[in-house]
């Protein structure tokens, strides 16, 4: 797939950070009986993942609530009249319900115009980046002049169900708890982005293109869902997912650089989907990336699903890690396995 854009501007990000902070130490405290039974050392979770804490929403918060809050912030930062937005895409793993589309609830909350095209995109942790591509295509073709992407992830049910299962199942061993422990790295959050066509509103921040790669022979390495008895659970073969994910990312990175013609040393900043410190280290080594050019939020936010890479970029811009005139790459890897990498001239 040839991802090249000439008329697409990134305008303004918005984000919403949940108010509840849950530390890895607090999770281990809740898992005290399991740790004692299996003789697991305290501090194991943070040591293995590099995640000190993650954020959670108050009870009753729906994915559309966080997404709408982030969307309102993005619109305010952009200065664009909400009535000028012609497309709204909701891109999270989490959703309010099966039907209608969660985008419909965000649309109503933000009071966007009835002429605004809206729908959901779902592709595990790559949803937001896929949304950037879909909206960019419409902007490039001139079908819309301005649009909004939103994502709101809610990890509360997953963490609660995982903790309950780990404590209730006394047959679990050090080996059989591994597929469940990856769920404890997940956090909540929301992010949004206004994008425009350059001849409508030129921000000077351009989405240039990118590349994607699929490796679906390994779509069984991370799977999750809900059931009435156990709630939301996810099973992850972390070691295999790490290896196959990096393999897919390497192929995508080669295609990304060939498609855009970008030399490695010409990229000033990287914003990555964040899984854990072992993943980041292997990714940088394999792709020959300078860790000093990476901006991360992993220690304080954990893995925020589809929100992870874009909120990291949003916070990086907010904190001055990416400034006008610099070049950035946003690197996405998701279960499936899929990789999508996008290049931005900021």
Give DSSP secondary structure letters for 53-106. Answer: EEEEPPTT--HHHHHHHHHHHHHHHHT--GGG--EEEE--S--S-SSS-HHHHH
Q: Note the residue count of the chain.
A: 346
Packed helices 102-110 and 63-78: angle between N→C axes, nearest 10 degrees:
50
As a whole number of Å, the CA-based R_g of the chain is 20
Beta carbons of 185 and 275 less than 8 angstroms apart:
yes
Question: Per-residue pLDDT for the chain (346 aa), expressed as one digit of tens each?
Answer: 779 999 999 999 999 999 999 999 999 999 999 999 999 999 999 998 999 999 999 999 999 999 999 999 999 999 999 999 999 999 999 999 999 999 999 999 999 999 999 999 999 999 999 999 999 999 999 999 999 999 999 999 999 999 999 999 999 999 999 889 889 999 999 999 999 999 999 999 999 999 999 999 988 877 887 764 566 777 777 777 778 888 999 999 999 999 999 998 999 999 999 888 888 889 999 999 999 999 999 999 999 999 999 999 999 999 999 999 999 999 999 988 999 999 999 9
Beta carbons of 85 and 19 less than 8 angstroms apart:
no
CA neighbor of 30 nearest in space, from 173, 161, 164, 231: 164
Residue found by looking up tokens 């001849």 in the block: 199
CA neighbor of 203 nearest in space, from 70, 87, 317, 334: 317
* Fold observed for domain 205-345: Peroxisomal Thiolase; Chain A, domain 1 (3.40.47)
Per-residue pLDDT reduced to its tens digit, 270-281: 999 988 888 888
Cα atoms in the 13 Å half-sphere on the side-chain side of 170: 2
What is the C-alpha end-to-end distance of the chain, expressed in Å? 24
Cα distance between residue 236 and residue 245, in whole Å: 12
Packed helices 127-141 and 308-318: angle between N→C axes, nearest 10 degrees:
70
Per-residue pLDDT reduced to its tens digit, 252-264: 999 999 999 999 8
Query: Three-state DSSP class for 112?
Result: coil
Q: What is the pLDDT of residue 238?
A: 74
The neighbour count for residue 158, using CB atoms within 10 Å, is 23
Query: Three-state DSSP class for 173?
Result: coil
State the catalytic residues.
99, 125
Sequence-distant (6+) residues with CB within 8 A of 319 are: none
Pure H helices in the chain: 24-30, 32-38, 44-49, 63-78, 102-110, 127-141, 156-168, 178-181, 238-260, 277-287, 298-301, 308-318
Per-residue pLDDT reduced to its tens digit, 170-189: 999 999 998 898 899 999 99
């Amino acid at each position: 797939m040839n991802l090249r854009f000439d008329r697409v501007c990134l305008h303004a990000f918005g984000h919403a950070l949940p108010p509840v902070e849950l530390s890895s130490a607090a999770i281990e405290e809740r898992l005290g009986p399991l740790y004692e039974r299996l003789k697991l050392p305290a501090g194991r979770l943070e040591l293995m993942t590099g995640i000190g804490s993650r954020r959670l929403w108050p009870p009753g918060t729906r994915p559309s609530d966080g997404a709408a809050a982030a969307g309102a912030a993005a619109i305010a930062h952009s200065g664009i009249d909400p009535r000028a937005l012609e497309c709204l895409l909701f891109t999270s793993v989490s959703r309010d319900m099966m039907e209608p589309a969660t985008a419909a609830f965000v649309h109503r909350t933000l009071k966007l115009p009835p002429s605004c095209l809206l729908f959901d995109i779902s592709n595990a942790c790559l949803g937001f980046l896929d949304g950037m591509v879909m909206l960019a295509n419409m902007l490039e073709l001139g079908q819309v002049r301005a649009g909004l992407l939103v994502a709101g992830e809610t990890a509360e049910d997953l963490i609660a169900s995982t903790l309950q299962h780990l404590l209730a199942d006394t047959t679990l061993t050090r080996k059989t708890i591994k597929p469940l422990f990856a769920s404890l790295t997940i956090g909540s959050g929301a992010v949004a982005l206004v994008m425009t066509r350059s001849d409508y509103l030129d921000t000077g921040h351009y989405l240039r293109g990118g590349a994607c790669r699929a490796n679906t022979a390994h779509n069984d390495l991370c799977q999750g869902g809900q059931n009435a008895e156990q709630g939301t659970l996810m099973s992850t073969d972390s070691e295999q997912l790490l290896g196959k994910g990096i393999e897919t990312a390497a192929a995508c990175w080669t295609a990304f650089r060939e498609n855009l013609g970008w030399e490695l040393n010409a990229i000033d900043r990287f914003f990555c989907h964040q899984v854990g410190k072992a993943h980041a280290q292997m990714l940088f080594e394999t792709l020959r990336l300078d860790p000093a050019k990476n901006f991360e939020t992993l220690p304080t936010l954990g893995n925020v699903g589809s929100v992870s890479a874009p909120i990291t970029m949003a916070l990086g811009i907010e904190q001055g890690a990416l400034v006008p005139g610099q070049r950035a790459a946003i690197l996405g890897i998701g279960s499936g396995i899929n990789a999508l990498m996008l290049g931005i001239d900021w």
